[in-house]
Chain A
């Protein structure tokens, strides 16, 4: 975890602002911009964000 940490990272709140777009892009196979890359980084570091993301992704996938 220490090795993955960056000087500037999204916190949980910032991650939440973008995680919906991140999930949609991931499911659609779209490229990620800088903000969305930061979301992905956050998800590797934060179990709570990751748990929420996985639940969101499941719902979106089930809706497809």
Chain B
């Protein structure tokens, strides 16, 4: 399952620059990545109709909103931001990426830890480290969270 999860995330990331903001980010990810869709179906099956809202642990994850028509803004700027985001994500460890995917998927940490075969609290540390790494990378290239449209990055930078 861990390999499957990572494959799905990598497939999504590989196509990230095609995200045009016409739909929610997660909808786009489902539509463009069969692996991700299969991963979702598999996790839903494993969860047995799990209701994430009633079982959520830890902080609230933000569902990326649809990007307003004018939010795509300057294509060059958007491309720069996406490239920076991709580089930042590329520097995460495989496990950090897997946990970020779980967060993007809005899975509770309990379920992430089970899927990845980790101890219960391990995802908290991993996702925190991933956020810190992303934040530092953004700062290093002169990008603040405010520069990046929420629909592009909220799932990666939730505080």
Query: Could you tell me which A residues sit within 8 Å of B by CB distance?
Result: 16-21, 23-24, 52, 55-56, 59-60, 62-63
| Inter-chain contact B27/A23, CB cutoff 8 Å | yes
Q: Is B28 an interface residue (CB 8 A)?
A: yes
- Chain A residues with Cβ below 8 Å from B22 are 17-18, 20-21
Q: Is B60 an interface residue (CB 8 A)?
A: no
Main SS at interface, chain A = helix
List the A residue with the shortest CB-CB distance to B49: A62
19 other A-B residue contacts (CB within 8 Å) besides A17-B18, A18-B22, A23-B27: A20-B22, A20-B23, A20-B27, A21-B22, A21-B23, A21-B27, A23-B23, A23-B31, A24-B24, A24-B66, A52-B31, A52-B37, A56-B27, A56-B37, A59-B30, A59-B37, A59-B40, A59-B44, A60-B30
| Inter-chain contact A60/B27, CB cutoff 8 Å | yes
- Chain B residues with Cβ below 8 Å from A55 are 37, 41
* A18 vs B28: C-alpha distance when bound (angstroms): 9
- Chain A residues with Cβ below 8 Å from B128 are none
List the A residue with the shortest CB-CB distance to B18: A17
- Chain B residues with Cβ below 8 Å from A52 are 31, 34, 37
- Chain B residues with Cβ below 8 Å from A62 are 44
Q: Is B90 an interface residue (CB 8 A)?
A: no
A19 to chain B, nearest CB (A): 5
| Inter-chain contact A20/B30, CB cutoff 8 Å | yes
Chain B interface extent, by class: 10 to 19
| Inter-chain contact B31/A16, CB cutoff 8 Å | yes
A26 to chain B, nearest CB (A): 11
A39 to chain B, nearest CB (A): 11
- Chain B residues with Cβ below 8 Å from A20 are 22-24, 27-28, 30-32
* Residue from the list B18, B20, B31, B44 in contact with A56, Cβ < 8 A: B31
A28 to chain B, nearest CB (A): 11
List the B residue with the shortest CB-CB distance to A53: B31
* A62 vs B106: C-alpha distance when bound (angstroms): 13
| Inter-chain contact B30/A56, CB cutoff 8 Å | yes
- Chain A residues with Cβ below 8 Å from B26 are 63
